[in-house]
A and B are shown apart, each in its own frame.
Chain A
Amino acid sequence: MSKKREFISGDEAVAIGVKLSRPHVIAAYPITPQTITVERLSEMVERGELNAEYMHVESEHSAISAAMGASAVGARTFTASSSQGLLYMTEGLHYASGGRFPVVMMNANRSVALPWSIYGDQRDSLSLLDSGWIQVYVEDAQEALDMMIQAFRIAEHPDVLTPMMVNLDGFILTHTYEIVEIPEQSQVDAFLPPFQTPNKMCFDNPKNMGFSSQPNDNTEFKYQQNLAVLNAVKVLEQADTDFAAMFGRKYNGMVDEYQSADAEVLLVTLGSVTGTVRDVVDEMRAEGHKVGVIKIRYMRPFPEEQLQNLTAGAKAIGVLEKDISFGYEGTVYTNVNSALAKVGNTVPKLNFVGGLGGRDVSKADIRNMFLKLQRVAAGEAYKTVDFFNLNVETNE
């Protein structure tokens, strides 16, 4: 059977992935660079290609609230946002995860004001790691489409029942075009079971939903939420395996890696920059440098054990991220460093911070990171946080 392929943007790939997942309700407010996704979805509903209720809400706060309400009557629900819009949803994000409403969201990673910027970095979603949502970061448009389908399956699984955020880099992925394979509807239907939840408003089994808790119960609910996100590990790995069997594309669950097995220095990445790093690895390998890359896919749950194993042979490790937690270090670095500290991995670990507000992370930048890691592995002194490619002189 010949496979259907289309030349589409990342935003359009997300819209098609969502459509194939047959959501009952979509509630979203447009924001650059997510807009095309929700425009396409509203067009699909308008044309009758997608049998869903598209709610034109007046804000992101309303979008997540409406999505939660729809989920509470047993509907499969989708929302999408970015940056300021995502942050405007913040209250609802905690509400949805605490209420165990498995809403699926696409987030177009974008810088956070001030200074105002519509361009990409990952400071929006990384600042929300504690909101209780499962977070996955994709590398290209195909992975974006595929992860929308997987996200519904993971989030809605009875052992998980936790909302999930699929993150893709603003503009770099949302507005660039790729050839993307479009799965068959019948196969998606076979992969994705209908949504069923114990948390459903219905006349046959009326429930008091979203109640308060006293100090003697609250910790137990939070323990349960933590368990649910940990349960997602097995569920997402199974989804990855089943997806590969049905569609022929495997993403290796929590983390992916390239040339890491014998690598002396490693870069740990998140999102679309991984593609550029793979190319630099190829170029430097051809010159005899033993370099490799580990791509974190899931920030929550966090691939602690996988990172511990994959980095065991490296002499220096760099975490490349489009984020900084002011006054300390990048959030990805903090998480990676914590995982490696638990197994006593004391090799130098550097934090390359950059690509903020849409600045390009070039092959030359990445080559410099690998070369620096090599020098540090050989004994050169280093500072943990390295704002690479600054356009000005500093006092450091």
Chain B
Amino acid sequence: MSRPVKQNFIRPTHIEGFPVGPQFTAGHLADTNAGWRTFRPVVNHDTCIYCLRCYLVCPDGTIFKDNGKIAVDYDYCKGCGVCAHECPKNAIEMVKEQL
């Protein structure tokens, strides 16, 4: 369940440092992307059975295991709610973001 995380991107200062065409190492995330989320998924670890269905259905690959527990990478989660909808134990609740 390894996933790319935001990394520091050092912009090349010379044209020879540029990649040859718009191609670069996969998974090098230079920025976060979650700004339009209205509801955030929150996992109830007491009811979660670790079936990993949420991991399989997440369209943005934001579900991961944190010390053995299901977690969500809020740097990239858009709040679509597919995980909560598909969870067989209703262990994920969509909670409105506080602005």
Contact = CB atoms under 8 A, between A and B. Distances in A.
Contacts, number: 52
Interface residues of A, number: 21
Contacts of B20: 100, 161, 198-199, 224
B15 interface: yes
Nearest to A159: B20
B18 A98 contact: no
A33 interface: no
Contacts of B47: none
A224 B20 CA distance: 8
A100 B21 contact: yes
Nearest to B12: A220
Interface in B1-45: 15, 18-28
Contacts of B18: 220-221, 224
A211 interface: yes
Interface stretch (A21-29, A43-51, A202-210, A327-335): A202-210
A62 B24 CA distance: 25
Interface in A201-251: 205-213, 220-221, 223-225, 227
A223 B15 CA distance: 9
Given A220-B15, A224-B15, A227-B15, A212 B22 contact: yes
Given A220-B15, A227-B15, A161 B21 contact: yes
Nearest to A223: B15
B22 A210 contact: yes
B22 A207 contact: no
A99 interface: yes
Contact of A199 (B23, B25, B28): B23
Contacts of A208: 23-28
Contacts of B28: 208
Which of the four size classes fits the interface of chain B? 10 to 19
B91 to A, nearest CB: 32
B96 to A, nearest CB: 31
Interface string A6-43: 00000000000000000000000000000000000000
A224 B15 CA distance: 7
A77 to B, nearest CB: 16
Given A220-B15, A223-B15, A227-B15, A98 B21 contact: yes
A102 B43 CA distance: 48
Contacts of B26: 206-208
A207 B24 contact: yes
A270 to B, nearest CB: 29
A98 B20 CA distance: 9
A320 to B, nearest CB: 37
A100 B21 CA distance: 6
A220 B18 CA distance: 8
B23 A221 contact: no
Interface of B: 15, 18-28
Q: Give the top 10 A-B pairs by smallest Cβ distance, nearest first.
A: A100-B21, A206-B26, A199-B23, A208-B26, A211-B22, A209-B23, A207-B26, A99-B21, A207-B23, A100-B20
27 contacts: A98-B21, A99-B21, A99-B22, A100-B20, A198-B19, A199-B20, A199-B23, A206-B25, A207-B24, A208-B23, A208-B24, A208-B26, A208-B27, A209-B22, A210-B21, A211-B22, A211-B24, A212-B22, A213-B22, A220-B15, A220-B18, A221-B18, A221-B21, A221-B22, A224-B20, A225-B21, A227-B15
Given A209-B22, A211-B24, 9 more contacts: A206-B25, A207-B23, A207-B24, A208-B24, A208-B26, A208-B28, A212-B22, A213-B22, A221-B21
